[in-house]
Amino acid sequence: MKKILFALLFTTVSLSMSAQTIFGKWENRDEETNKVDSVIEVYKKDGKAYAKIVEITDKNRQEAVCDKCSGNRKNNPILGMNILTGLSKDGDEWSGGKILDPKNGKEYKCYIKLDGENKLKIRGYVGFSAFGRTAYWHRKQ
């Protein structure tokens, strides 16, 4: 009986700890309709946070390319593209990297941080964080 209780306790603690991380799959929702338009996977590489688009829900956009991007992203598929690069942990947020908006091809400085267990705040900006835009991703269940 003690082994079963310990296993249940360990599983509960593990699940709640994993829910309190930025890493995993997140849903990006259309600001007007609130429908999921893509799924982004945030992952860790060499101690930094990155994110790539792993799913596009609109079947007509699944083969879309980033025609407004510059450099090595120009005309590359959006599906599978890294859109968040090189963020380092700084207290309760990850910052110092950049985020790409594939809709306009522009890159912005950014920081991300958890806003509750299942909501991720993404702040993209030019210059100072006061001059930017905030978006929220929701943990994929």
Residue-wise pLDDT for 16-29, tens only, equals 444 589 999 999 99
In whole angstroms, what is the distance from residue 50 CA to residue 99 CA? 9
Tell me whether residue 16 is in a domain.
no
Q: How many CB atoms lie within 10 A of CB 75?
A: 10
CA dihedral 83, 28, 77, 60 (to 10 degrees): -170
Residue 88 falls inside a structural domain: yes
**pTM of the predicted protein model:** 0.83
What pLDDT shows up at residue 130? 85
Residue 78 sits in a domain whose CATH number is: 2.40.128.520
Token pair 């964080």: residue: 129
Range of the structural domain that residue 132 is part of:
24-139
Mean pLDDT estimate for the chain: 88
For residue 8, being part of any structural domain is answered with no
- 90-127 tens-digit pLDDT: 999 999 999 999 999 999 999 999 999 999 999 999 98
Residue 12 reports pLDDT greater than 60: no
Residues 82, 86: Cα–Cα separation, whole Å: 10
Residue 119 β-bridge partners = 138
Q: What is the pLDDT of residue 19?
A: 57
Q: Amino acid identity, residue 105?
A: G
Q: What is the pLDDT of residue 136?
A: 96
**Number of domains composing the chain:** 1
